[in-house]
Amino acid sequence: MVRDLDAGDANIYLEFEYRRVACPECKAVKRETLTWLAKSGRFTQRFEDRIGQMCREMTIKRVADLNQLSWDQVRRMEKSYMHRILKQHPPSQQLRAIGIDEISIRKGHTYAIVVADLDRHRPIWLGGQGRKEQDLQLFYNSMGPERCNTVQLAVMDMWKPFRKATLKHAPNAQIVFDKFHIMRHLGNALDQVRRSEYKRVSEKDRSFIKGQRYTLLSHKANLDLQGRRALRILLKVNKRLNKAYLLKESFGQLWDYKNPTWARKFFDNWKSQLRWQRLKPFEIFAAMIERHWDGIISYCHPDNKISLGFMEGLNNKIRVIQRRAYGIKDQEYLMLKVITSFIKTP
């Protein structure tokens, strides 16, 4: 007797008999395989699929309560469902462009690495016990040398272990540093200027700076009327913050260039504006860009114009999955949740 799809409020169970056959070759008695039966043997395949589909939208506890099942039963069925989905939609054997980033698993600087296929906009691997070089090597080892040689583009932040592991295992890959990580460094530089100006100016001028961190770091188009008014007053009162804000807003143009020469001229002109401005955090940021220039300017090549925002969106989705599950300690389960969440199912 196995459970099938419900009919309204009524739980449906199917009662049936197996055929058992004595094999003349191995002298063993074998039972027939029923394709409509789940691997556990306690539910039909379609009922298990329905539970897996519900888990894509709800917590395990909620699904268990709705179907009068235990938490462990729902979790096992969901994992089985996700394994089947992944088997039906395997990652491509030809990976041209990949994105690499680390995610926080839990508090205490516990990280894992997530890798995505940027051409097909789907994650393909999640693992490791940190963000060291040997953690990323686990991904390349699982791919094999042939698939590694197909990688032509690797988008990542400026973390050196990621770069070393990629150049070692994917020699044909061109490194591209992620725009959003770089702009985050620039935002941190602007925030340091804001804090230093708050300490430097008089008590009267501090009232214009206090509480304006979000206003300064946000794009002007994303601010409401009150935010734009506060920004206009702040930039009018403090010339140093005004200069830092304008430099931060203009730097994003670097990724619009398609010619490395013109991109270099833009950066040299941007850097020259720091002279005599006493913006030490921006000078440190400019020096960092100089050290990683090759990985930044590689995006100017027409063949390297791929979506740089996918990895940022993937990180946000992973955080939503973790919050919905109130934290996931099983890394295999988290990997399945992340990878299958981008696979469209009927």
For the chain, the C-alpha Rg in angstroms (whole number) is 27
| pLDDT above 90: residue 266 | yes
**Predicted confidence band of residue 293 (pLDDT cuts 50, 70, 90):** very high
Domain annotation covers residue 199: yes
Phi first, then psi: give them for residue 13, nearest 5 degrees: -125, 140
Question: What mean pLDDT do residues 241-256 have?
Answer: 91
**Predicted confidence band of residue 108 (pLDDT cuts 50, 70, 90):** low
13-29 pLDDT, tens digit per residue, is: 999 988 888 888 888 99
* Judgement on whether residues 79 and 111 belong to the same structural domain of the protein: no
Q: Which neighbouring-strand residues pair with 271?
A: none
Domain annotation covers residue 292: yes
* Judgement on whether residues 158 and 197 belong to the same structural domain of the protein: no
227 Cβ neighbours under 8 A, 6+ residues apart: 214, 215, 218
Q: pLDDT at position 214, please? A: 86
* Judgement on whether residues 119 and 266 belong to the same structural domain of the protein: no
Determine the structural domain holding residue 161 and report its residue range.
Answer: 97-178+313-340
110 Cβ neighbours under 8 A, 6+ residues apart: 104, 130
* Judgement on whether residues 171 and 317 belong to the same structural domain of the protein: yes
Q: pLDDT at position 327, please? A: 63
Q: How far apart are CA 252 and CA 250, in angstroms?
A: 6
* Judgement on whether residues 171 and 318 belong to the same structural domain of the protein: yes
Amino acid at the residue 183: M
Q: How far apart are CA 320 and CA 341, in angstroms?
A: 11
Average pLDDT, the chain: 89
Which of the residue ranges 127-131, 184-188, 312-316 has the most confident prediction, judged by mean pLDDT?
184-188
- How far does CA 19 lie from the centroid of its chain? 48
pTM of the model: 0.83
* Judgement on whether residues 33 and 103 belong to the same structural domain of the protein: no
Please report which helix (H) or strand (E) contains residue 150, including its range.
none
Order of strands across the sheet that contains 97-106? 122-127, 110-117, 97-106, 153-156, 174-177
Domain annotation covers residue 255: yes
Is residue 141 within 8 Å of residue 84, measured between CB atoms? no
Task: Name residue, tokens 């100089």.
Answer: 290
User: Which of residues 88, 123, 144 is at a domain's end?
Assistant: 88
Q: pLDDT at position 54, please? A: 93
| pLDDT above 70: residue 298 | yes
User: Which of residues 37, 62, 88 is at a domain's end?
Assistant: 88
Task: Name residue, tokens 């670097």.
Answer: 254
Q: pLDDT at position 98, please? A: 93
Domain annotation covers residue 346: no
**Predicted confidence band of residue 238 (pLDDT cuts 50, 70, 90):** confident
Q: What is the CATH number of the domain that holds 156?
A: 3.30.420.10
Please report which helix (H) or strand (E) contains residue 188, including its range.
helix 179-200
User: Which of residues 88, 107, 131 is at a domain's end?
Assistant: 88
* Judgement on whether residues 133 and 189 belong to the same structural domain of the protein: no
Domain annotation covers residue 195: yes
Question: What mean pLDDT do residues 161-184 have?
Answer: 91
* Judgement on whether residues 239 and 298 belong to the same structural domain of the protein: yes
DSSP string, 17-34: ---EEE-TTT--EEEPP-
Q: pLDDT at position 76, please? A: 92
Q: pLDDT at position 231, please? A: 84
Q: How far apart are CA 60 and CA 123, in angstroms?
A: 22
Q: pLDDT at position 41, please? A: 84
Question: What mean pLDDT do residues 65-93 have?
Answer: 92
* Judgement on whether residues 128 and 147 belong to the same structural domain of the protein: yes
Domain annotation covers residue 250: yes
Q: Which neighbouring-strand residues pair with 114?
A: 101, 126
Question: What mean pLDDT do residues 76-100 have?
Answer: 92
Q: Return the number of other C-beta atoms located less than 10 Å from residue 269's C-beta.
A: 10
Lowest mean per-residue pLDDT among 39-48, 81-90, 166-175, 219-228: 219-228
**Predicted confidence band of residue 167 (pLDDT cuts 50, 70, 90):** very high
| pLDDT above 80: residue 346 | no
Tally of domains in the chain: 3
* Judgement on whether residues 234 and 218 belong to the same structural domain of the protein: yes
- How far does CA 211 lie from the centroid of its chain? 30
The CA-based dihedral angle spanning residues 336, 315, 343, 58, taken in that order and rounded to the nearest 10 degrees: 70
Domain annotation covers residue 205: yes
* Judgement on whether residues 170 and 317 belong to the same structural domain of the protein: yes
* Judgement on whether residues 129 and 278 belong to the same structural domain of the protein: no
Domain annotation covers residue 345: no
- How far does CA 192 lie from the centroid of its chain? 27
Phi first, then psi: give them for residue 257, nearest 5 degrees: -75, 145
The angle subtended at Cα 264 by Cα 297 and Cα 257, nearest 5°, is 60
